[in-house]
Structure 1
Amino acid sequence: MANGMDLTEDRRNSIAQEEANGATLAVTSLIERGVTTVFGLPGIQLDALFSALHDHRSRVKVIDSRHEQGAAYMAFGYAEAAGEPGVFTVVPGPGMLNAGAAIATAYACGSPVLALIGQVDSTRIGKCYGELHELPDQAGIVSRLVRSHELVFSPQHVALAIHNALDILGRPGFGPAAIELPPDVLAAKVSSGHSPASATPHATEEQNRSRLASLADLIRSARRPLIFAGRGAVAAADELRRLAHAYGIPVVAQGRAKGILDDRDPLSLNFLSAAELWSDCDLAIAVGTRMKHPLRAWPRPEGMRLAVIDIDPHSAPAVREADLFIRSDARTALPGLIELLPDLTVASRPEITVAKKTGAARMENALAPQMEMIRAIRSALPEDGVIVTDYTQVGYVANAAFPASQPGTLITSGYQGTLGYAFPTAIGAKVAHPNRQVVAIAGDGGFMFAATELATAVKHRIGVVTLIFNDGRYGNVRRIQETVYGGRVIATDLTNPDFPAFARSFGAYGERARTPAELEQALSDAFGRDLPTVIEVPVGEFPDPWPWILPGLPDQAKG
């Protein structure tokens, strides 16, 4: 891909004379909104933008990645960890397409990611002249991958587009957003005296008090309610805890929602424990979650009502199957709901304790090798540490069983399930929280998708730690080939480098841990470093985790 091109002397003189142009407005607008980091790669269509970033480098740090997908995943990790917009920029065409998997992941997760994407000159869009990096309809492609999209045709509109996009990203679950910036728009001068326009903020959402009152009535009359929480509830974790503890309602959270209730809390359940209670549930309350697995895999009990609080009216299947849908940000809805609920006499529910203990014991017995590794990681990682789980055996189990005590400390790729995302995402999370420990859990297959971003982490001294559980194969796919397809094993064996030596060749730390105890020690040592560390953990075949992390009901479960 062409990321550099000779400029004529006239063009260099023109750049030197420019004082305020579209690119300057873009960067100053980001600064106005508190953006301090931009991930990305330079290229000819972005030259004016990177020039402006250079001029404002004391206020905005540029983390230059080795691949566009890495830049976009870093912005995703930053957004997930910080709860604030993660911004990246890439050239059009192949640059945008390279970032596409990460944009799709941000869409699946509703993450506040802002993509600043180059274009061809505004006068040539759609002309099919064969311009460098031109696509037949880039705007059409991008607009279908994001929740907010704008193609800017004048420098005067650049600031407004950025403010509008960041306003939208301020609404939980409404990311990602993309702005396409043609190079002539970025380079064009803006008349003196022009200042970046500010978009009108979105109006505050009005509560549908009648629907909240109906939900309050349902809670008062319910005897065996359950709350299912998703990432959309993380910003309302305090309110959700108040509701759960005041009325004795268990909270079921897995993956990105873990830590909304401390996993040590008697009311904190994962799917395996919740399955023990499902058949007797008379009210399920879904807060910021699609509730996909329970609603698809578990027969709905007769008489059970489903209430959904979600800002996204398309959050299927929960919204589609809801008896009561409250379209609202959980941060607004839950305080309103609590106000409508008087003090209740909460009946004792010993079955909750039994379900929690039963689920934990079943998982320990069935998945002992994975659980040993998870305990080692938990023992070394501080309470506020962040883990990013790739599609790998230990990662799968961690999504259900990793003991999290704080919300936002476990990052997944949501329903997109993008293999290889964890390492670059963890880099972005570490940039968001430089004083917290961040660990990527990867397999040998997934790590190699973006392994060269070690160069980025070393260059910028980003002390992220990556665990590579190395079984020499795409283990999950191979298991399916063996058990479902009669042993037709193909394209799943891997040829790998010496991972510790590979890491050291970039200037990072590389280690090998063969036991859980060695892993715990290696992690403890790595947490004291300001350079990245790769820890390879050689492993054999793990037990199949799926019946336990996405379980059927007890009479359907294996084992």
Structure 2
Amino acid sequence: MMSNQINGGEAVYRVLKANGIDTVFGLLGGSMLELYDAMYEGGEISYVGARDERAAGHMADAWARMTGKPGVVLGAQAGPGVVNIVTAVAEAQLAYSPMVVIAGAITRADQCKDTFQEVDQVALFAPISKRSVMVTDPSRLAPMLEDAIRLASSGRRGPVVLHVPRDLFAAMLPDVEPKAVAIARPGPAAPEDVDAIASLISNASRPVIFAGGGFKWGKGREALTELAETLEVPVVASTGHADVMRHGHPWFAGQAGPRGNRVASRLTKEADVLVVLGARLGFNSTFHSNDYVGADTRIAHVDIDGSAVGRYFPAEIAVQADARQTAEALAPKANKPNADVWREAFKADMASLAKERAEEAEIATWPMHPRRALAEIRDALPADAITTLDTGNTCLQAADRLAHYEPLSLITPLDFGLVGFGLAAAIGAKSASPERPVVAIMGDGAVGYTMVEIQTAISHNLPIVIIVLDNEAWGAEKAYQQEFFGGRLLGAEIQSPRYDKFAELCGGKGIWVDAVGKMGPALKDAIASNQTTVIQCKIDPGALMTLRKDLFTKQDDND
């Protein structure tokens, strides 16, 4: 009789394996040791043990964005271990990244008794996830995990938190052989909507395609590229998705909006027709302002989430559908618009932007100007590289100054905008794509959040490169204090250690860049070494820019 039974830990392992989850992330705790034992015995799921649960969550997030499958993070210690994952779940929620958190919880018999490490975990995660739910019976453990995988992967993706009491992992239940969860996939726009969009763009004089992350989740780069080439219409990318088309493609303008370039932003503002595919026209891409999307622009808006369509800018044609499949349906229906004047202006603007970027690459001041550093990085990155960015002043300038050639080449914090994301995300990306070089670009303050994860990368043989652009400041806030508060700096300037030396202490490689022209060779050397490497470079502390000028008014110096 007992031979036909398995414990809860084994049941969870089997569900994960059946759904193609070959890697999970976490930090060992005492709330689910049966699951750890099942993974050890089964041997078909790799485990990446982080040094902080928040970082493990970011790793799972990045893994999900690379594979398209839900990233799984184990909150293996009820209470503090689980609470540490809150930041990563909020990040995934606002990035629409599929994640399943298996969160250890207090044994059922001890709940609601002010037991050691007991907090209301379900309520804590409820506002920042698609669902936060407690498993209350052993027989429901496997089905509820399958539900979590389904929900995380369906519609607009996002995190699901499944709280599992400690005793359920040890509980015995009937032997199960789970199968992969079937995920319902969206289809293309309805034929009448495709016809309407085709007519709208075919008759435009200043057409633009606004492409978002829907093309990345839907593996739609080829469809987007074919649509742009067929119609000879410029494409702009939503914030954080500058890899939606190949860098340097003649119809790709790069990233639009406050974090984008001036050409792409002019296109979206001056377009008479904007076809939005797989994007929300959200705050990070538009500031919800007619400074970035013209007040008179006619918009056809297609997104997987119907509630986002037309929400921020009125949509003349509103469609809930998949971006890739809609692009595929649209290409043979639409005709090349009569927009040669618009096209020529676009090409001239792109040539001007290229010249501007080339001039940035020649800035010879020291400490190195961040845009010179970014130019050297751009030229040295291999075509198959994956880049992760952090949040902060330098990464703001990096947002549209890098080169992304292969699909799924850029991972950023997106709407949550948290600091400390890039290093852990790089480890998750490397876990998903070990054959590709992975480079994290961060400020010196950001690296301090998760620097111990350098040891994680080394311990798990996941070689990544971390580029630290060190301006000795919390740059974004310093810029605001300088511009709006009379240069009265408090808390803005910081002193960071030699992270390159810390990498060496961990068993990795460290490179200190001490002159212009050396960043590019350092990056090539780091990638060729196949070692986890920190490249650190002092950059100009005065080369700052402010983004949210709407938040502040200048303070009177005489106050």
TM-score interval (norm. to shorter): 0.7 to 0.9
Alpha-carbon shift at residue 277 of structure 1 (Å): 3.2
Q: Which of 212-221 and 252-261 deviates more?
A: 252-261
Is 1:358 equivalent to 2:352 in the alignment? Answer: yes
2:207 corresponds in structure 1 to 225
1:421 corresponds in structure 2 to 421
Aligned pairs (5 A) from 1:136-151 = 137-151=120-134
Aligned counterpart in structure 1 of residue 65 of structure 2, from 69, 80, 92 = 80
1:38 corresponds in structure 2 to 24
Please state whether the residue corresponding to 1:383 is helix, strand or coil.
coil
The 1:344–1:46 alpha-carbon spacing in structure 2 relative to 1, beyond 3 Å, is: same
1:122 corresponds in structure 2 to 108
TM-score, with structure 2 as normaliser: 0.88
The 1:356–1:138 alpha-carbon spacing in structure 2 relative to 1, beyond 3 Å, is: same
Q: Deviations over 1:107-146 (max 9, x none)?
A: 1111122211111123444x2x1223211x3112222211
Please state whether the residue corresponding to 1:44 is helix, strand or coil.
coil
1:8 corresponds in structure 2 to none
Alpha-carbon shift at residue 66 of structure 1 (Å): 0.6
Does the 8 A contact of 1:438 with 1:465 survive in 2?
A: yes
TM-score, with structure 1 as normaliser: 0.88
Is 1:52 equivalent to 2:38 in the alignment? Answer: yes
2:49 corresponds in structure 1 to 64
Aligned pairs (5 A) from 1:96-135 = 96-125=82-111, 127=112, 129-135=113-119
1:439 corresponds in structure 2 to 439
Measured in 2, the distance between the counterparts of 1:151 and 1:521 equals 52
Please state whether the residue corresponding to 2:247 is helix, strand or coil.
coil
The 1:317–1:168 alpha-carbon spacing in structure 2 relative to 1, beyond 3 Å, is: same
Measured in 1, the distance between the counterparts of 2:270 and 2:422 equals 38
Aligned counterpart in structure 1 of residue 244 of structure 2, from 244, 260, 285 = 260
Alpha-carbon shift at residue 345 of structure 1 (Å): 6.7
Aligned counterpart in structure 1 of residue 158 of structure 2, from 175, 179, 185 = 175
The 1:151–1:340 alpha-carbon spacing in structure 2 relative to 1, beyond 3 Å, is: farther
Alpha-carbon shift at residue 447 of structure 1 (Å): 0.1
Does the 8 A contact of 1:148 with 1:175 survive in 2?
A: no
Does the 8 A contact of 2:106 with 2:165 survive in 1?
A: yes
Please state whether the residue corresponding to 1:448 is helix, strand or coil.
helix
Alpha-carbon shift at residue 499 of structure 1 (Å): 2.0
> Letter of the aligned partner of 2:286 in structure 1?
P
Please state whether the residue corresponding to 1:402 is helix, strand or coil.
coil
Alpha-carbon shift at residue 342 of structure 1 (Å): 5.3
Alpha-carbon shift at residue 201 of structure 1 (Å): 4.1
The 1:204–1:360 alpha-carbon spacing in structure 2 relative to 1, beyond 3 Å, is: closer
Does the 8 A contact of 1:472 with 1:493 survive in 2?
A: yes
Aligned counterpart in structure 2 of residue 310 of structure 1, from 303, 307, 318 = 303
> Letter of the aligned partner of 1:132 in structure 2?
F
Q: Deviations over 1:281-320 (max 9, x none)?
A: 1111222222233362334545421121111234377566
Alpha-carbon shift at residue 330 of structure 1 (Å): 1.2
Does the 8 A contact of 2:130 with 2:152 survive in 1?
A: no
Q: Deviations over 1:314-349 (max 9, x none)?
A: 437756632222111213322222343357677462
> Letter of the aligned partner of 2:297 in structure 1?
M
Aligned pairs (5 A) from 1:515-554 = 515-546=515-546
The 1:162–1:542 alpha-carbon spacing in structure 2 relative to 1, beyond 3 Å, is: farther
Listed as ranges, the gaps of 5+ residues in structure 2 are 257-261, 364-368, 551-559
> Letter of the aligned partner of 1:309 in structure 2?
V
1:5 corresponds in structure 2 to none
Does the 8 A contact of 2:388 with 2:412 survive in 1?
A: yes
The 1:231–1:327 alpha-carbon spacing in structure 2 relative to 1, beyond 3 Å, is: same
Measured in 1, the distance between the counterparts of 2:144 and 2:329 equals 33
Please state whether the residue corresponding to 2:430 is helix, strand or coil.
helix
> Letter of the aligned partner of 1:83 in structure 2?
G
Q: Count residues in correspondence.
A: 530
Measured in 2, the distance between the counterparts of 1:378 and 1:184 equals 52
Measured in 2, the distance between the counterparts of 1:156 and 1:67 equals 31
Please state whether the residue corresponding to 1:284 is helix, strand or coil.
strand
2:366 corresponds in structure 1 to none
Alpha-carbon shift at residue 360 of structure 1 (Å): 4.1
Q: Deviations over 1:3-52 (max 9, x none)?
A: xxxxxxxxxxxxx9996111111111111111111110121212222122
Alpha-carbon shift at residue 230 of structure 1 (Å): 1.6
Please state whether the residue corresponding to 1:256 is helix, strand or coil.
coil
Measured in 2, the distance between the counterparts of 1:158 and 1:538 equals 51
The 1:339–1:172 alpha-carbon spacing in structure 2 relative to 1, beyond 3 Å, is: farther
Measured in 1, the distance between the counterparts of 2:444 and 2:23 equals 30
The 1:379–1:201 alpha-carbon spacing in structure 2 relative to 1, beyond 3 Å, is: closer
Does the 8 A contact of 1:27 with 1:52 survive in 2?
A: yes
The 1:317–1:363 alpha-carbon spacing in structure 2 relative to 1, beyond 3 Å, is: farther
Aligned pairs (5 A) from 1:265-280 = 265-270=249-254, 271=256, 272-280=262-270
Listed as ranges, the gaps of 5+ residues in structure 1 are 1-15, 553-559
